[in-house]
Structure 1
Amino acid sequence: MSDTLSAPAGAGRTSAPPAGAAPRRSPLRLLKPLLLLAALVVLLALPLYVEEFWLRTGFAVAGAIVGAIGLNLLVGTTGQLSLAHAFFLAVGAVSYTFISGESGGLGTRAALRGLELPPIVGMVVGVLLAGLAGLVFSPIAARLRGIYLGVASLGLVFIGVHVLNTWTPVTGGFNGRSVPEFSLFGFSFGNDDPQLFVLGVPFREAERLWYLGIVLALVAYVFARNLLRSRPGRALQTLRDSEVAASVMGVNVQAYKARVFLVSSMYAGLSGVMYALSIGSIAPESFGLTVSILYLAMIVLGGLGSVAGAALGAAFVTALPLVFQQFADVLPLVSAPGEGGVAAGIAARYLFGLAIILVVLFEPGGLAGFANRFRSRGHRPGRGSPSAGPASASSTTVPDPSDPPAQGSSTR
Structure 2
Amino acid sequence: MSEAVTRTERPARRSVHRPALLARRRTYVWAAGAVLLLALPFYVDRFWLQAGLFAMAAAIGATGLNLLTGATGQLSMGHAFFLAVGAYGYCVFAGDGADGLTGLGLPTWLAAVLAVLVAGVAGGVFSPIAGRLRGAYLGIATLALIFIGQHVLFNARDLTGGFNGRDVPPLSLFGLTFDDRELVVADVPFGSAEKLWYVGLVLLLAGGLFARGVLRGRPGRAMNAIRDHRVAAGVIGVPVARYRAAVFVLSSMYAGLAGVLLALVFQRTVPEYFGMTLSLDYLAMIVIGGLGSVSGAVIGAAFVSLLPQILTRYSDLLPLVSAPGTGGIAPGEAARYLYGAAVVAVVLFLPGGLVRITARQGRPTPQEDT
Q: TM-score, normalised by structure 2?
A: 0.95
Change (3 A) 1:17 1:172: same
- Among 71, 81, 87, the residue aligned to 1:77: 71
Distance in structure 2 (CA, Å) of the matches to 1:96 and 1:8:
73
- Once the two structures are TM-superposed, the CA of residue 112 in structure 1 deviates from its matched residue by 1.1
1:294-314 deviation line (CA, Å, top 9, x unaligned) = 000000000111110110000
- Once the two structures are TM-superposed, the CA of residue 23 in structure 1 deviates from its matched residue by 4.3
Q: Is the 8 A contact 2:80 2:275 kept in 1?
A: yes
- Among 354, 360, 375, the residue aligned to 2:362: 375
Distance in structure 2 (CA, Å) of the matches to 1:58 and 1:359:
24
- Among 196, 216, 219, the residue aligned to 2:183: 196
Aligned to 1:14: 8
Distance in structure 1 (CA, Å) of the matches to 2:342 and 2:137:
27
Aligned to 1:277: 264
Distance in structure 2 (CA, Å) of the matches to 1:314 and 1:293:
12
Aligned to 1:224: 211
Aligned to 2:17: 24
Distance in structure 1 (CA, Å) of the matches to 2:5 and 2:270:
75
Corresponding residue SS for 2:342: helix
Corresponding residue SS for 1:338: coil
Aligned to 2:42: 48
- Among 109, 122, 130, the residue aligned to 1:133: 122
Distance in structure 2 (CA, Å) of the matches to 1:62 and 1:235:
28
Instruction: Write the letter of the residue equivalent to 2:196.
Output: L
Distance in structure 2 (CA, Å) of the matches to 1:128 and 1:269:
8
Aligned to 1:409: none
Aligned to 2:32: 38
Distance in structure 2 (CA, Å) of the matches to 1:76 and 1:326:
32
Distance in structure 2 (CA, Å) of the matches to 1:82 and 1:17:
48
- Among 246, 250, 259, the residue aligned to 2:246: 259
Q: Is the 8 A contact 2:11 2:367 kept in 1?
A: no
Tell me which stretches of 4 or more aligned residues in structure 1 moved more than 4 Å: 7-13, 15-18
Residue 148 (1) aligns with residue 142 (2):
no
Aligned to 2:152: 163
Corresponding residue SS for 1:382: helix
1:262-319 deviation line (CA, Å, top 9, x unaligned) = 1100000000111111212112211111110000000000011111011000011101
- Once the two structures are TM-superposed, the CA of residue 191 in structure 1 deviates from its matched residue by 2.1
Residue 334 (1) aligns with residue 318 (2):
no
- Among 87, 112, 123, the residue aligned to 2:112: 123
Q: TM-score, normalised by structure 1?
A: 0.86
Instruction: Write the letter of the residue equivalent to 2:189.
Output: P
Distance in structure 2 (CA, Å) of the matches to 1:184 and 1:243:
44
Note the 1:174-189 alignment, pairs <5 A: 174-189=163-178
- Once the two structures are TM-superposed, the CA of residue 161 in structure 1 deviates from its matched residue by 0.5
Residue 97 (1) aligns with residue 91 (2):
yes
In terms of fraction of residues, the more helix-rich structure is 2
Distance in structure 2 (CA, Å) of the matches to 1:280 and 1:8:
73
Distance in structure 2 (CA, Å) of the matches to 1:198 and 1:185:
17
Q: Is the 8 A contact 2:127 2:245 kept in 1?
A: yes
Corresponding residue SS for 2:215: helix
- Show structure 2 runs of 5+ residues with no match: none
Aligned to 1:296: 283
**How many residues are treated as equivalent by the alignment?**
367
Residue 250 (1) aligns with residue 243 (2):
no
Identity of paired residues, percent?
A: 53
- Once the two structures are TM-superposed, the CA of residue 95 in structure 1 deviates from its matched residue by 0.5
Change (3 A) 1:288 1:382: same
Change (3 A) 1:294 1:10: same
Change (3 A) 1:42 1:8: closer
Distance in structure 2 (CA, Å) of the matches to 1:315 and 1:254:
33
1:162-214 deviation line (CA, Å, top 9, x unaligned) = 1111111000011111111111122101122xx42222111111110111111
Residue 322 (1) aligns with residue 315 (2):
no
Distance in structure 2 (CA, Å) of the matches to 1:30 and 1:255:
40
Distance in structure 1 (CA, Å) of the matches to 2:355 and 2:3:
44
Instruction: Write the letter of the residue equivalent to 2:103.
Output: G
Instruction: Write the letter of the residue equivalent to 2:329.
Output: V
Change (3 A) 1:14 1:81: same
Corresponding residue SS for 1:123: helix
Aligned to 1:398: none
Aligned to 1:396: none
Aligned to 1:361: 348
Instruction: Write the letter of the residue equivalent to 2:68.
Output: L
- Once the two structures are TM-superposed, the CA of residue 17 in structure 1 deviates from its matched residue by 10
Instruction: Write the letter of the residue equivalent to 2:188.
Output: V
Instruction: Write the letter of the residue equivalent to 2:257.
Output: L
Instruction: Write the letter of the residue equivalent to 1:77.
Output: A
Aligned to 1:387: none
